[in-house]
Amino acid sequence: MAYVVAARGGAPIALVMELLEAEPSACLFGELRFDFVAPLVIGQTYAVDARIVSVKRKRGRRFPVFDRVELRSRVADADTGAEVAVVTQVWLVARSEDPG
Amino acid sequence: MSALEPGLRLGPLVVDPVDPGAMKVVAILQDDPNPIHWDPTAAARVGLGDRVVNQGPITVSYLLELASRAAGGHAGVLRLDARFVRTVFAGDRVECCGVVMSVDLAAGTAELELNGAVDGHPVVSATATISVTAPGDGRIGNTLNNDVDS
| CB atoms inside a 10 Å sphere around CB B128 | 26
> Which pLDDT score is estimated for B133?
78
Whether B81 sits inside 8 A of A31 (CB atoms) is yes
Chain B: closest CA distance from residue A100 (Å): 27
For the segment B55-67, what is each residue's pLDDT rounded down to a tens digit?
999 999 999 999 9
Pick the residue with more confidence: A19 or B84?
Answer: B84
For the segment B116-143, what is each residue's pLDDT rounded down to a tens digit?
999 999 999 999 999 997 554 433 433 3
Pick the residue with more confidence: B34 or B21?
Answer: B21
Q: Which residues of A touch B64 (CB under 8 A)?
A: 34
Distance, CA of B125 to CA of B113 (rounded, Å): 8
> Which pLDDT score is estimated for A100?
52
Candidates B37, B66, B80: best to mutate against A (most CBs of A within 10 A) is: B80
Closest CA to B36 of A23, A19, A50: A23
> Which pLDDT score is estimated for B21?
95
Which whole-number Å values give the CA distances from B139 to A17, B1, B69, B73, in the listed order?
43, 13, 9, 11
Please report the DSSP string for A16-59 in residue order. HHHHHT--GGGEEEEEEEEEESS---TT--EEEEEEEEEEEEEE
A63 near B104, Cβ under 8 Å? no
